[in-house]
Structure 1
Amino acid sequence: MPREKQYNEAEVIERAMVLFWKNGYKSTSLRMLSKEMGINQFSINASFGNKKNLFLESLKLYKSKLQQVLKKFEDSSNGKDSIKNFFYAFAAFSNQDNNKRGCLMVNTMSEFGLEIDEQVGAVISNYGEKLRGLFKKNLEFNTAIDSVTLNKQINFLVLAIGGLGLAGKIQNNTVIEDYIEMTFKNL
């Protein structure tokens, strides 16, 4: 008969997510996870299989938390203003409690580059495609622009949100605000 878990799985995934968000995947050891999560390494492996699976669960949790920010963006219909509001909400989300962690997905792409794991890449790619669709919807809302210009603007915004995700780790609020304002001045 299997032993009953002496911990709340959702809570330990939350703690793991924060540690991965702060340190990155490669710099986060099982020992660090065990200490932060308050469970032993055997329990981590028994519940999640390995560090990678725990990381995937952490990314999924992060994505679900970010979905709360995205939901407001999805429901908006103010064109470029909606995109700009999303940028500000995303910046606030990336700097919760003044912890300057940036975006876990952007951090992960930076950490792995082209060597990203297929499963991890799929979680991030799905998020990226959703953003592209929302950018497209809002860019088309106010103006009629040709498809070439539209695609260039979408690509610009994808890179800009990624830059914002990284900048959130090191820049102060004034620099972040200047970045967002200049992004939309140039759009």
Structure 2
Amino acid sequence: MARPKEFDREEAVKRAMVVFWEKGYEATSTDDLLRAMGIGRQSMYDTFGDKHRLFLEALQRYQAENAAGLMERLRSEPSPLAALEQVFLVIANESPAERARGCLGVNAITELARVDPEVASVSRAAAMTCEAAFERVVREAKRKGEVRASVDERQAGRFLLTALQGLRVTAKAGASPEALREVASFTVSGLRAR
């Protein structure tokens, strides 16, 4: 009879996610993961298969949590444009350590997406979710007269995703909170009805 697992899988994935987020995929060793998760090597292989499978599961979990947080922030204000600006300002308002850590999704794209089709697939799915959310917000902002009627929602959604990813990279590279706030403001003001 097989022995039941003696650890919480969700908690183990969460702990692994933090290690990958802090160190990156390549720099994270199996020993780093085992220490963080508090499990043995065989348990890791039996449960997750290998480091790559564990990374994909951690990345998918991160992307799901990130998408849920984005949706919540986009619904947090009566003004769609104000909510959109808050999404960007969150980055500027992070601690220096949080900005330096960056976004696990963007980190995965820059480290692995060109050489790892599975990471690229997870990244594309997350991008589509984010773009669609931005499109909906722009559509709602147009309906409320906050955004020019001539703005194409699909193009705006894609632009906003790219701006958000770029802001994440800029923050990780050490840009000041003031510079990040200026970019956030400029990004949203470009959509505003005149």
Give TM-score, length-normalised by structure 2. Answer: 0.80
Kindly state the Cα deviation for residue 115 of structure 1 after the two structures are TM-superposed: 2.0
CA contact (8 A) 1:19 1:28 kept: yes
Distance 1:88 1:102 in 2: 14
Runs of 4+ with >4 A deviation: none
CA contact (8 A) 2:85 2:188 kept: yes
CA contact (8 A) 2:88 2:164 kept: yes
Residue 167, structure 1, aligned to residue 170, structure 2:
yes
Alignment of 1:111-122 (within 5 A): 111-118=111-118, 120-122=119-121
Residue 101, structure 1, aligned to residue 101, structure 2:
yes
Identify the residue that residue 158 of structure 2 maps to in structure 1.
Answer: 155
Pick which of 166-175 and 49-58 moved more: 166-175
Unaligned runs of 5+ in 1: none
Pick which of 74-83 and 1-10 moved more: 74-83
Unaligned runs of 5+ in 2: 143-147
Give TM-score, length-normalised by structure 1. Answer: 0.83
Distance 2:95 2:53 in 1: 25
The one-letter amino acid paired with 2:26 is: K
How much is the aligned-residue C-alpha RMSD, in angstroms? 2.5
Distance 1:52 1:34 in 2: 14
The one-letter amino acid paired with 2:38 is: G
Distance 1:182 1:140 in 2: 19
Identify the residue that residue 123 of structure 1 maps to in structure 2.
Answer: 122
Distance 2:22 2:8 in 1: 22
Identify the residue that residue 47 of structure 2 maps to in structure 1.
Answer: 47
Between Structure 1 and Structure 2, how many residues are aligned?
Answer: 183
Distance 1:129 1:73 in 2: 18
Q: What secondary structure, in the 3-state scheme, does the structure 1 residue paired with 2:114 have?
A: helix
CA contact (8 A) 1:16 1:36 kept: yes
Alignment of 1:33-112 (within 5 A): 33-75=33-75, 78-89=79-90, 91=91, 95=94, 98-99=97-98, 100-112=100-112
Kindly state the Cα deviation for residue 97 of structure 1 after the two structures are TM-superposed: 8.7
The one-letter amino acid paired with 2:45 is: N
Distance 1:182 1:66 in 2: 23
CA 1:165–1:140 in structure 2 vs 1: closer, same or farther (change >3 Å)? same
Kindly state the Cα deviation for residue 48 of structure 1 after the two structures are TM-superposed: 0.4
Identify the residue that residue 23 of structure 1 maps to in structure 2.
Answer: 23
